[in-house]
């Protein structure tokens, strides 16, 4: 797994944990509120990075948009895997 894929996996694991804890905030992915929650979640991860993580992300060319996209992908996968239990 490349370093970038490793960071993506880490962010998606964090996001999935949040989705499991607060599914009602994300279930209807088509709403603006859900989109805002995803952006806010990704921004929280972005803003809480350590110096080491900031250096790593700079070196890998990662941006907030990457974190947001990965959080969104994690939600889509979470919903797909839990369709029966979320309805």
Indicate the domain borders of the chain.
Answer: 3-86
Over range 63-87, report the average pLDDT. Answer: 88
What is the model's pLDDT at position 23? 86
How many Å apart are CA 78 and CA 82, to the nearest integer? 6
What is the model's pLDDT at position 84? 66
End-to-end CA distance of the chain: 35
What is the model's pLDDT at position 5? 97
pLDDT digits (tens, 9 = 90+) for 12-58: 999 999 999 988 888 777 778 888 999 999 999 999 999 999 999 99
Confidence class of residue 87 from pLDDT cuts 50, 70 and 90? low
Cα Rg for the chain, rounded, in angstroms? 13
* Dihedral sign (CA 13, 15, 16, 17): positive
């Amino acid at each position: 797994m490349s370093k970038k894929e490793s960071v993506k996996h880490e962010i998606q694991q964090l996001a999935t944990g949040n989705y499991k804890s607060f599914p009602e905030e994300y279930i209807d992915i088509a709403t603006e509120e859900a989109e805002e929650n995803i952006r806010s979640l990704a921004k929280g991860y972005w803003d809480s990075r350590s110096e080491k993580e900031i250096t790593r992300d700079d070196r890998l060319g990662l941006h907030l948009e990457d974190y947001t996209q990965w959080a969104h992908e994690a939600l889509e996968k979470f919903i797909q895997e839990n369709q029966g239990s979320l309805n």
